[in-house]
Amino acid sequence: MVKQATAKLNRLRIAPRKVRVVADLIRGQKALKALAVLRFTPKRAAKPLRKLLESALANSKELGLDEKKLYIKKITVDQGPTLKRWRARAMGRANTIQKKTSHITIVLEEKNES
């Protein structure tokens, strides 16, 4: 039985397609290297992803996993609920504005040295 540490972030107010760009940078990497990559990534989604990865690392310590052997097994970015807003336009019309949210899940696992 392989132990896995997970962390979830729901309803992040950044569109999923923007978060996926940053998530693709760290998918499959070692956890500590991914933290360094996120620290120097100039995208807005990098900070919440870094905090979520730190949370997953803290969860792994509770399970007794070795921090240096951990890698990101799976990171998923799904779309959450959309906030629908209206913007006034000319001649009494209105256009919809969709403010999208993201659900992010990170799964960490120990890599076997065999």
pLDDT tens profile 32-80: 999 999 999 999 999 999 999 999 999 999 999 999 999 999 999 999 9
Percent of the chain with pLDDT over 70: 99
Q: Mean of the per-residue pLDDT values for the chain?
A: 96
pLDDT band, very low/low/confident/very high, at 114 (cuts 50, 70, 90): low
> 17 — alpha (psi -120 to 50), left (phi > 0) or beta?
alpha
- Calpha distance 99→41 (Å, rounded): 23
CATH class entry, domain 4-110: alpha beta
Helix (H) or strand (E) holding 66: none
Q: Is residue 73 helix, strand or coil?
A: strand
For the chain, the structural domain boundaries read: 4-110
| pLDDT score for 112 | 82
